[in-house]
Structure 1
């Protein structure tokens, strides 16, 4: 099609509607009515404004299209049929086992950058992509995000709205499909387009209000968005859910269901069509940045020094940034605490301040990695829990991101429980394909930062606030999935398994017990996931009892990770878990560890009881 007429664009919209109905009918499930409302928007975008080479999904000049309203996947797959990358037979495999056309889009399809369907995530991720294009790549691609009106109630959307305006992301366009109806009934603002416009304008966006079924108006709006300078644009389109089929158009109770009579609906829409769209090719652009393989000089710390693991992290990240030009750092306005400030000083052009918006922080990291960058996103461990759904969806997206949580556990001291990350290990362990690392000293931290850069999936590093003794030399090696046996004799009565701050408490407890003739084995379980099952099993066989000690809730953390090493049917050793069970209050770090029962004295007391050598005091 060459410069399609309005009639041809409208006809393409009808084809997209028909194919959405057909796909949902074949699956006997799906969201055709949500697809039908946005079909004209999609038709105009595809035929006139999207610049994309479907034969080269990784072309650096390709525009990016995110279906934030991922439940409208039948529309997306209908678009793929229109450009010829999905055939009719494949379209009708929608939602079947082994089909790439899943109920909500995922990057199993090469033209899908990120998984969507958890509403309120498309725009935040799009902000990350747009930031990469504008500030790092200086690339000509645009980011188009199709959003539903219901998801505009999500707080994460407004984190993204503010961030996009602050960064003047004029390469970002939000298309809001205002079809008035959500899952159970009308949306908050219905068809009040001005309600959306006022809010977006207050944040600094350029807004355009249109009839989303008037293809000429849609065309003009997309052109205006592309020509707007220094502001992101929101196209607020009034549409009808189920457009074109009288039985379901603008009717409640039709969400998430195939149409009652698909054959009649297809006939009402004019029947199947076979329009093929020639999408505008992308402009020339530089190849995406890759690691240049420069020499990595990690910081080195002397044995016996006292260094906080967060300090080691910041220095190691800055060093990694010097060795690799694809590394970017993001922070949630706590860079002076997480120590990403070291990276910001050395590589300011690759440092991104996300302010107190943890959902946007993680989403931007996901966006950056789609562009070939290696993101490290940092904030307090406690605050990453706010972004759990974004972490979960990052795994669905097969995203490669590094997340770092500082100020973990009761050992942060006087700040109290609101600042203490006590659930983070459990959260990240539960994420599919994740790696969870918890170093205890500076050299170990530096080595693990370098190791994270070579891993896949969601990687989490837990760092501490207070200084800790350096117990490993700078040339010691640490692999994810490993551990270190710090003390071991043939006379060991039991094994203490610790990580992070409790490693040092365990070593002090071991010294106390030595004086009483009680030998204990001590394992530094710096890799919480994957866990070093072989070392744990060997220790269990030799000592018969494992005591886990963690500055974390007992649910889901190190104790559970150790227990799972014996979940294959082999004999399970006696397992005792020391961790945070009560609600902390303000106190010094030393007092906090003692009150939680995870300091050296408490560990030693537990060991005495377990070996039946308790002393009455």
Structure 2
């Protein structure tokens, strides 16, 4: 509330925000209520281990995180829509330290995101409550674990929250996570971009998995470190509520100064447990010990309730005592505490639910644009992928849901120039920080945007890619579940624009060479890998992506210009190859992708001059059906690829899946030209010009033609 006063009975009293600043009696009462909620959440958290599939609990971090979490969720700081957690404009919370999920799940169950039954039988295959949080659980936006990536996504939420409708982004990160370098990519970027709507709470429990009572190496004074990067920083005692609440109050209701806020919550692993058994990272809880702990926790709660009741009695005689009492009882109801009017220990029973979260509204992911405004390509000219991206994005990005993020290679992607021409606030550049780039992209995608991020092929972070894909899968599972909280359109739409694919990096150096990225990322579930051969194809792929709901796309593009292979009526389909040269007199077939298709077509011209017709197939994405159809023709097949044989390796998988329709002798008709060594082992390739590389690996038009002729001769 922002009004200066609210009505209580016939009185006019300051708003809750003003009371938090000025009225010490109200503040004391609020802290006592939070202490009662502290007991409620700990009881629910401990109880989860009783019937968990492994009787386990990530106790150390869940318990140390309880004071920060209870302060945030029950202290009146978050503006949430529990009914629709995807509604634009509400505050967002990200649990970066995913091992504290038991405490967060206790809070979410009580607030009504899901039924209390979800807390039982956790971590089993049937349960949606896993050892880490993910979008299969209602109200959770992304999948997180212990890798320090949630803070980067929360920063992306804060970036989005600076636009209309504005909102704040909160994150809880562990001090162990801060050993991950990606966290500091986020810390640097957030301060430089004035994200004063971003609040990071650090659960500094001074322990981690292998050593629960100290860090593996000394950590500096974190508040000083954050301040040195341009953050507001508070160091508070998180074994009590007053310091945490005061710091949150300053962030939420104090003046904004263009700086993000870090609250260092000093505590210890297992804080709040009676038994030191719970101080470790994860424990398997014996039944007798659990019963003992729950009994003591309930006794502590009863004492805290009685203390609050006594406090109400004490203030009743003061002039404003009755007004403060009514306000505190109103706060108690907001905190899911029963208020039945009796002054006894049963006054404040915990109230679970009811379940409020419903299946959220469907998202329309189709991007609106004027097709007539898109560039018209001349078959007699060459175009680079960056030129096509820039020209296309100048049209597509007129829709405010199109967002791009580069990492100091914007000139190779064309994204920043294109999106920036429509709205430069949606054309971001994170510098040399690829993990942070991918985390920001995930945030925008989770909010429903058509998000693009770009760097050189080898620079995408596999660790981030895999976790994003896990979260995307959980979203798909929640969408597919008839009782799930998500509906159609709530998957992630992220295009990873991978520039300088295959031999396109040229003389930059071996670490930049993109001959192994496709086969590496082929292991990531739900990732659609596409290798672009033609400017017209690139434009069509962009149009395909703008239809929405395409999921995670890894789009490999050429760096320098190429000829146009397709007419303006070409339509890209994922999982479809294209026979760009075919005749009934073909004696062999060459399959390629990217610039390799151009070399294969030139090789076909050489063969034709020698009286040999060969077919050429452009396979930008794996086409199972076409591969089998070509195999069944009985013609020799040559996979000519400027990489480690991505298509060929997938062809072998296709043959295995159709093994009932194949025979071993058929494989003798299949040959390869790629960057594997003579023994078929993977390797990295040296820096060289494009002309040198295609020559070294026999992938020039002459080399491909000679290979085909040799196959036919044998």
Q: Pick closer, same or farther for the CA change 1:612–1:96 going to 2, 3 Å.
A: same
* Secondary structure in structure 2 of the residue aligned to 1:52: coil
The equivalent residue for 1:355 is: 431
Q: Residues 343-371 of structure 1: CA distance to partner in whole angstroms, max 9, x if unpaired?
A: 12343132111111100101000011122
Which residue is 1:601 aligned to?
702
Find 1:577's aligned residue among 654, 669, 672: 672
Deviates more, 1:23-32 or 1:181-190: 181-190
Q: Give 1:134-213 correspondences, 5 Å limit.
A: 134=162, 136-139=163-166, 141-185=167-211, 195-213=221-239
Alpha-carbon separation, structure 2, partners of 1:272 and 1:553: 63
Q: Deviations over 1:307-332 (max 9, x none)?
A: 2223222322332113x221011111
Q: Does 1:293 align with 2:368?
A: yes
Output the CA distance in 2 between the equivalents of 1:496 and 1:291: 36
Superposed CA RMSD in Å reads 2.5
Deviation at 1:441, TM superposition (A): 1.0
The answer for the alignment partner of 1:284 in structure 2 is none
Match for residue 636 of structure 2 among 545, 556, 575: 545
**2:328 is equivalent to residue 234 of structure 1:** no
1:176-575 equivalent positions in 2, closer than 5 A: 176-185=202-211, 195-226=221-252, 227=254, 228-248=256-276, 251=279, 254-260=280-286, 261-270=289-298, 274-276=349-351, 293-296=368-371, 297-322=373-398, 324-343=399-418, 344-384=420-460, 387-398=461-472, 399-453=492-546, 454-527=548-621, 531-554=622-645, 557-568=646-657, 569=659, 570-571=661-662, 573-574=666-667, 575=670
Q: Which deviations, in whole Å up to 9, do the C-alpha atoms of 1:468-526 show, x marking residues without a partner?
A: 11111122111111111012223322221100010001111111111222222211001
Query: 1:587 pairs with 670, 681, 688, which one?
Result: 688
CA distance in structure 2 between the aligned counterparts of 1:452 and 1:431, rounded to whole angstroms: 19
Range with bigger deviation, 105-114 or 25-34: 25-34
CA change 1:148–1:538 in 2 (3 A) is: same
Aligned residues: 594
Q: Distance in 2 between matches of 1:601 and 1:56?
A: 61
DSSP 3-state at the match of 2:383: strand
Q: Is the 8 A contact 2:369 2:395 kept in 1?
A: no
Are the structure 2 counterparts of residues 190 and 250 from structure 1 closer, same or farther at C-alpha, using a change threshold of 3 Å?
farther
How much does 1:341 deviate?
3.7
Cα shift readout 1:444-466 (whole Å, capped 9, x = no counterpart): 10100111232432111111112
**Structure 1 runs, 4 residues or longer, greater than 4 Å off:** 186-194, 271-274, 287-292
Query: Structure 1 pair 257/250, CA: closer, same or farther in 2 (3 Å)?
Result: closer
Change (3 A) 1:313 1:596: farther
Give, in whole Å, the separation in 2 of the partners of 1:191 and 1:604: 59
Describe the shift of the 1:277–1:194 C-alpha distance in structure 2 as closer, same or farther (beyond 3 A).
farther
- Is 1:12 the counterpart of 2:37? The answer is yes
**581-590 vs 96-105, greater mean Cα deviation:** 581-590
Matched residue SS, 1:552: coil
Q: Is the 8 A contact 1:411 1:593 kept in 2?
A: no
Tell whether the 8 Å contact from 1:106 to 1:114 is kept in structure 2 after alignment.
yes
- Aligned to 2:671, what secondary structure does the other structure show? strand
User: How far 1:255 sits from its partner (Å)?
Assistant: 1.4
Map Cα deviations across residues 555-585 of structure 1 (whole Å, 9 max, x no partner): xx22212222222222154232221135433
Q: CA deviation at 1:437?
A: 1.3
Q: Residue 25 in 1 paired to residue 25 in 2?
A: no
- Output the TM-score relative to the length of structure 1: 0.91
Cα gap change, 1:29/1:498 in structure 2, threshold over 3 Å: closer, same or farther? same
What are structure 1's unaligned runs of at least 5 residues?
282-286
TM-superposition CA deviations, 1:524-551 (whole Å, max 9, x none):
0012xxx211111111111443221222
CA distance in 2, matches of 1:480, 1:465: 22
- 1:47 matches 2:74: yes
Give TM-score, length-normalised by structure 2: 0.79
Give yes or no for contact 1:412–1:466 (8 Å, CA) kept in 2.
no
Please list every run of 5 or more consecutive structure 2 residues that lacks an aligned counterpart in the other structure: 1-15, 17-25, 302-348, 357-361, 473-491, 677-682
For residues 280-333 of structure 1, the C-alpha deviation after alignment (integer angstroms, 9 at most, x for no partner) is: x9xxxxx999766232333221113122223222322332113x2210111111
Contact in 2 for aligned 1:302/1:474 (Cα 8 Å): no
Q: CA–CA distance in 1 between the matches of 2:220 and 2:506?
A: 49
**Larger-gyration structure (1/2):** 2
Distance 1:77 1:276 in 2: 15
Taking structure 1 as reference, are residues 164 and 456 closer, same or farther at Cα in structure 2, changes over 3 Å only? same
Aligned-partner Cα distance in 1 for 2:141–2:382: 43
